[in-house]
Structure 1
Amino acid sequence: MPRRSPSRTARIPYWLLAMALLFVIGLWQITTDAGYAAIFRTLSGGVLTTLWVSFVAFAGATVLGLLIALMRTSGVRVLSEIATFYVEFIRGIPILVFLFYVAFVGAPAIVGGINWLATPLIGAGLVEPLTVRAFDFVWRAIVALTVCYSAFIAEIFRAGIEAVDRGQIEAARALGLSPWRTFRFIVFPQALRTILPPLGNDFVATIKDSALVSALGVQDITQLGKVYSSGTFRFFETYNVVAFLYLTMTISLSLLVRAMEQRMKRERR
């Protein structure tokens, strides 16, 4: 007798059912409890800030990470050594420490450098000197997250590029393709299949690590929750809502990444 294939319901993992149950409980609390509803309305104002910081930082980190990966795989020793030093140095510093360094050391240095370059214009009264306060803390946080995550993303790109068969690259060069056209038409399309899933996971991690920007007073979900709970002493309810908002965003994106991985596996067969 032929074995029956499991139904779609039976294939749903238990962890996902548990997550769905937690989501329903959290949503029920927010819609039926006036206290939870008030907390949700307060914290929801930080969702856009969290997403804005995460999207901009991740986009910048992706571009910078690709440049660093190309330097590491270029075959030019000087570029490779510089890129390797950058990756190892940045990955060796905790994100929170680097965030403070950029915010309170890097930002004043950048402002000082701009003012030094613009000294003739400032002296002529054509422009006003910049102040450190003009460098918004949101952008300081974005710069810090961009630099930190670019080191991790560079390794993802490097692994994807090096996974492409060297024979195909040599064949492209034998046909007369330039290094840029070889990368664009031969290497990158194949590396992209290896790169996309871990890149998606790094974006999920960026959203979680964006909570660190609350240390600079940026009005994201975590900071608003910290301020609300310290004023109302409703720590349990407030951080339940904070966790609910982060879980909703990260689990949704994780499921999207998993669906993308499954689709790529089917395309390879």
Structure 2
Amino acid sequence: MEPENAIPVRHPGRWAAAVAVAVMSAMLWNATVNNPRMEWAIVGQYLFDPQILAGLRMTLLLTVLAMAVGLVLGTVVAVMRMSENPLVRTAAQLYVWLFRSTPLIVQLLFWFYLAAVMPTLGLGIPFGPEWITFDTSLLISQITAAVLGLGLCEAAYTAEIVRAGILSVSKGQFEAGEALGMSPRRVLARIVLPQAMRVIVPPIGNSTISMLKTTALVLVIALPDLLTAAQAIYSQNLAQIPLLTVATAWYVFIVTVLTLVQNRIERKFSAGVAGVTRSRVRRRTLTAALSGGFR
């Protein structure tokens, strides 16, 4: 009996969609790259301008500092939220509720104008004498206000991400660590968190990329980041679109680098899981082969 010739299924919708995407891409290319009003010469002129590069360094610095504050404090808040102490757990829940309920731009302005309601900040005995007193206007500078606003807000979201990662690890892992005589803190650091990283890393990577772009909000406190630098230049030469294109190009470049780093970290933490999965598949294949051989 001769085998029948299989007729491939036709997909006219796919071809139509591909043609539509190609046409729209060509139109977009013609409207931007071939548009003389885009003034690409000005884009190239200011792409590595010292003022733009200084703003880029400030953007990267704010991203690193804010994410560091968010990761450290967010992990602490996540552990507090899972505490058996109701007071500690409630305090962590209130922190997450407050900072997720307040617009980030409001938080930036609040920290920047903190000296209006608290002229001085001091260290000492609670409700008692102060040993050291600081001038708030000097202590809370522009960059400090930006890091506090961005970092404390990020910690509220990071806390939920870390908590979800910890909850993804089975309780048997906690019990096994305690059976070995490990303290709860050591169990969390050595057993639970390394396994939770597989769940934590992807959203943290997305938060880092989002933070890079969110730093543009520091414009409201006049901190010279990348976007502020671009605005300062086009306020003089009136080349708004070319300078915004310069800022966009740098944002796209940094986000691309961060995405590649995130993908590499994800592969590293998922390698063990992938290895276990492949091992199980190989065992099942071998078992099925042996079972078939003995029939």
For residue 172 of structure 1, report the CA deviation from its aligned partner.
2.1
Structure 2: how far apart are the matches of 1:131 and 1:151? 25
1:146 alignment partner AA = G
Which blocks of at least 5 consecutive residues in structure 2 are unaligned?
Answer: 1-20, 275-295
Structure 2: how far apart are the matches of 1:119 and 1:174? 47
Contact conserved, 1:90 with 1:151, CA < 8 A, in 2? yes
Q: 1:237 aligns with which of 231, 234, 242?
A: 242
Give the aligned partner of residue 68 of structure 1.
Answer: 77
Correspondence 1:156 to 2:165: no
Q: 1:35 aligns with which of 39, 42, 49?
A: 42
Which blocks of at least 5 consecutive residues in structure 1 are unaligned?
Answer: 1-13, 123-128
1:206 alignment partner AA = M
Secondary structure of the residue that 2:83 maps to in structure 1? coil
1:60 alignment partner AA = V
Structure 2: how far apart are the matches of 1:260 and 1:162? 21
Query: Percent identical across equivalent pairs?
Result: 28
Structure 2: how far apart are the matches of 1:119 and 1:154? 32
Q: 1:256 aligns with which of 261, 268, 280?
A: 261
The Cα offsets for residues 124-180 of structure 1, whole Å up to 9 and x where unpaired, read as xxxxx6361453201110111110000011111101111110012122223332111
Structure 2: how far apart are the matches of 1:72 and 1:188? 15
1:93 alignment partner AA = T
Higher helix proportion: 1
CA RMSD of aligned residues (A): 2.9
Distance 1:134 1:187, change over 3 A: closer
Give the aligned partner of residue 151 of structure 2.
Answer: 146
The Cα offsets for residues 61-109 of structure 1, whole Å up to 9 and x where unpaired, read as 111001100101122221111101110111111111111111113x555
Give the aligned partner of residue 4 of structure 2.
Answer: none
2:231 alignment partner AA = K
Contact conserved, 1:72 with 1:79, CA < 8 A, in 2? yes
| Number of aligned residue pairs | 238
Structure 1: how far apart are the matches of 2:155 and 2:131? 35
The Cα offsets for residues 18-49 of structure 1, whole Å up to 9 and x where unpaired, read as 9xxx9xx99xx9xx954223322131221111
Give the aligned partner of residue 83 of structure 1.
Answer: 92
Structure of higher CA gyration radius: 2
Secondary structure of the residue that 1:113 maps to in structure 2? strand
1:35 alignment partner AA = I
Correspondence 1:114 to 2:122: yes
Q: 1:170 aligns with which of 175, 188, 195?
A: 175
Secondary structure of the residue that 2:52 maps to in structure 1? helix
Give the aligned partner of residue 9 of structure 1.
Answer: none
Structure 1: how far apart are the matches of 2:150 and 2:271? 34
2:113 alignment partner AA = F
Structure 2: how far apart are the matches of 1:121 and 1:70? 32
Q: 2:218 aligns with which of 194, 199, 213?
A: 213
For residue 191 of structure 1, report the CA deviation from its aligned partner.
1.2
Given the two structures, how large is their TM-score scaled by the length of structure 1?
0.79
Give the aligned partner of residue 8 of structure 1.
Answer: none
For residue 218 of structure 1, report the CA deviation from its aligned partner.
0.7
Contact conserved, 2:123 with 2:132, CA < 8 A, in 1? no
Secondary structure of the residue that 1:114 maps to in structure 2? strand
